[in-house]
Each structure stands twice: as structure tokens, then as C-alpha cells.
């Protein structure tokens, strides 16, 4: 689900940017062509950094298995969009500053969470288009209310070819089905669903069969990804503890809403066993992805922020030790994914947006 946590403590995966142009924590280095580099001095893991999109809100960019293509979602109004749709492009062969890439969703409803299927000729994503052509309304928010995500019950999961033709519908159960990603082994899909009354993780075989629920604790479980060897999952989760917290969570969920302002990172085996909490940082820790070694996790967090902003990328060991700050822009950095060969990191950021509210895609040459 694309959400951007904002000032209230979460970044919407796109309201993400109804805040002022971010201040910079540290001065950027100057590049040889006299244009400010996109890399801050403390961002030591970036050997290079390139901006890929240039307007609107762009996020959840994920590599194809051959590392040559990327899928992502965007609401760029310059592309004629009213809310998020799914696109794909070839790395090194697409200039999105001047041209709109290939749209693979229907252009109807709202979409989220795309991921390449094995073979890189089809893409899985979630869409509300069967519930209507119009974009579902964002949750209404009154002054003093927490930041909220809409859990639209009309979301279902589909497979489309790279020309935008739907070739298969994978879910048709009443309620929210979204946030699907695919195992590097090419055998399983993990997704989030409300089919049993809570926001839990489920796995299914690559053809949509053999659906199994793997999380059972009260709270939102979502944004799951497989480890490089396909044996584990990493995901974000809220765990309301007190009676008041649990009652609030249940009330919001009954209205198709969730407040993502307090989430931590968890890992487990693909069947849900050996569940472990990795972070205990407070505030919003989310958008996790396994480091190519399988021994670390990169994720986005605002735990060092007094007002819920900014969000930085961090690395952490699976046992919760060795927390390391990766990014330094005083805005929004999130949705990281390593390429399957471990050479590149793609992520979303507010950097270099010219004082606008835009969130763009960036790709870094990674160094450990």
C-alpha cells in the first residue's frame, strides 16, 4: 500500500508532501558540472545517485528479476492522473523528465503495490477499479486527528502484462487485498488482507492457490518482502497493547482506516514461525527490505523526529543491533529496494524537488 507518512507521524505513502520544502541537515557536495550533487557527505553507501522522475508523487519502485526494468506507482498530474496508477520503464532507456512511461494499470480506480512476476513479462498489483472508475476518496481528517490510511475494501490483486492487459485476477474475497510481493524463488506471493477481520499477512502459491494466513496478533501487518533466499519475510506492524489502543484500532478498522503512526519492523519464516521484533524505536518504522546479504534490513523511520518528520533510511541487523543511518536529507526518504544483484538501491525522496511537494524516484549505486 503506498502511503506516505507525514507531519503527524507518518508519511502518506503520499500525502507525503503537503509540508514545506525540507531544510537540509548538511550541505551537499558540489559536482564537477557545478550542479549540486544529490548525495550528502554522510551518505557513504551511495557511490552515485540519479534522479529518475521529476514531478508528482512517485513511490514503491521495484526492480524486475533481471534488474533491467522497474515498476512503480505515480499520481503525477502532468501524466493525466488523478490518483495512483502503475507504470513500468527500462533502466537507462527511459527519460521520464520529458515522457510518460508505459502504464500497466487500467487507469481506473486507485492502484498500489506493484511487483514483477517471474519471467519479467507480467506485473502483480492491487487495484480498486472493479469497485468503480473514480478514485476512492482520501480519508477525511479533522484538526487534531491522527494521520490515517484508507484500507479500501474494493482492492483486489491482479496480474497484467507489460502492455497493461489484465491476464488474471488473483483475489476476489470481500475486503481489502493488497500489498503483494513475490519471492525471489518465484514460488510464492505474500500479501495483506482483511478477509478474517484484521489486517494480516497471507501467502499463496504463484498461481493464487493455497492461501495461508501467517500472522494472528491484533494490529496491522503489511508491506512484507521476502529475504534473498526466499526463506523469511520482513514487514511492518502495529501492535496496540492497552484496551484503549485496541478499541481505537478496531473502531478505525471498522471504518476502513488505520493510523500508521506507531509501527515496528518484524521478521519471521515464510510460514509465520519464529516471529521476531527487530526494532523497538517508537514512532513509525516501516517500508523494510532485506539487504542483499540477508543479514540486515533497510527501512524508513521518523524515530529521531520530534514532530513526526523527517523520515530517513536506516540499516539494522536482524537481531536489532547495529542501527546505522543511511540518508541525510531533511525531508522524506522511504520505499527502498535493492536490485537482485545487490548493486543498486532504488528509493523515493523529497530531495531536489525545487521547493515543491514532489516525491521522486532515485537510484543509487550501492557500496557496503
pLDDT tens for 86-130 read 999 999 999 999 999 999 999 999 999 999 999 999 999 999 999
Q: Given this model, what pLDDT does residue 10 score?
A: 34
Residues 6+ apart with CB under 8 A from 165: none
> Hey, how many other C-beta atoms are within 10 angstroms of the C-beta on 26?
12
CA within 13 Å, CB half, 317: 4
Q: Given this model, what pLDDT does residue 26 score?
A: 57
Give pLDDT < 70 ranges for the chain.
Answer: 1-36
Fold of 4-366: Neuraminidase (2.120.10)
Assigned C-alpha cell, 147: 494521520
Element (H, E) at 283: none
Assigned C-alpha cell, 360: 521522486
Residues 6+ apart with CB under 8 A from 228: 184, 290, 292, 293, 294, 340
CA within 13 Å, CB half, 182: 26
Q: How far lies 147's CA from each of 20, 39, 220, in Å?
A: 17, 30, 15
- CA 332, 74, 60, 217 torsion: positive or negative? positive
Element (H, E) at 69: strand 69-74
pTM for the whole structure: 0.92
Q: Given this model, what pLDDT does residue 146 score?
A: 78
Q: Given this model, what pLDDT does residue 217 score?
A: 98
Amino acid at each position: 500500500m503506498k502511503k506516505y507518512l507525514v507531519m503527524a507521524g507518518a508519511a502518506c505513502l503520499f500525502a507525503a508532501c503537503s509540508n514545506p520544502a525540507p531544510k537540509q541537515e548538511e550541505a551537499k557536495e558540489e559536482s564537477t558540472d557545478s550542479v549540486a550533487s544529490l548525495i550528502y557527505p554522510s551518505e557513504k553507501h551511495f557511490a552515485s545517485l540519479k534522479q529518475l522522475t521529476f514531478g508528482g508523487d512517485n513511490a514503491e519502485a521495484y526492480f524486475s528479476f533481471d534488474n533491467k526494468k522497474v515498476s512503480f506507482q505515480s499520481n503525477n498530474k502532468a501524466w493525466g492522473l488523478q490518483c495512483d496508477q502503475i507504470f513500468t520503464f527500462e533502466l537507462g532507456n527511459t527519460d521520464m523528465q520529458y515522457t510518460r512511461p508505459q502504464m500497466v494499470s487500467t487507469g481506473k480506480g486507485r492502484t498500489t503495490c506493484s511487483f514483477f512476476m517471474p519471467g519479467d513479462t507480467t506485473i502483480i498489483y492491487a487495484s480498486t477499479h472493479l469497485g468503480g472508475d473514480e478514485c476512492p476518496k482520501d480519508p477525511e481528517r479533522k484538526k487534531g486527528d491522527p494521520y490515517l490510511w484508507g484500507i479500501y475494501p474494493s482492492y483486489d490483486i491482479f496480474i497484467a502484462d507489460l502492455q497493461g492487459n489484465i491476464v488474471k485476477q488473483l483475489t476476489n474475497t470481500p475486503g481489502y487485498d493488497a500489498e503483494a510481493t513475490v519471492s525471489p524463488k518465484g514460488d510464492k506471493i505474500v500479501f495483506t488482507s482483511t478477509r478474517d477481520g484484521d489486517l494480516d499477512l497471507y501467502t499463496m502459491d504463484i498461481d493464487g492457490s493455497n492461501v495461508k494466513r501467517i500472522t494472528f496478533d491484533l494490529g496491522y501487518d503489511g508491506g512484507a518482502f521476502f529475504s534473498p533466499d526466499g526463506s523469511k519475510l520482513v514487514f511492518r506492524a502495529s501492535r496496540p497493547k492497552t484496551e484503549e489502543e485496541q478499541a481505537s484500532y478496531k473502531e478505525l478498522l471498522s471504518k476502513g482506516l488505520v493510523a500508521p503512526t506507531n509501527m515496528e519492523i518484524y521478521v519471521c519464516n515464510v510460514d509465520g514461525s519464529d516471529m521476531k521484533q527487530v526494532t523497538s524505536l517508537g514512532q513509525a518504522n516501516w517500508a523494510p527490505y532485506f539487504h542483499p546479504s540477508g543479514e540486515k534490513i533497510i527501512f524508513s523511520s521518523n524515530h529521531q523526529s520530534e514532530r513526526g518528520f523527517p523520515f530517513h533510511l536506516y540499516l539494522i541487523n536482524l537481531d536489532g543491533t547495529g542501527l546505522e543511518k543511511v540518508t541525510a536529507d531533511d525531508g522524506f526518504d522511504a520505499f527502498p529496494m535493492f536490485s537482485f544483484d545487490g548493486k543498486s538501491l532504488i528509493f523515493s525522496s523529497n530531495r531536489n524537488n525545487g521547493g515543491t511537494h514532489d516525491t521522486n524516484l532515485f537510484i543509487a549505486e550501492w557500496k557496503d
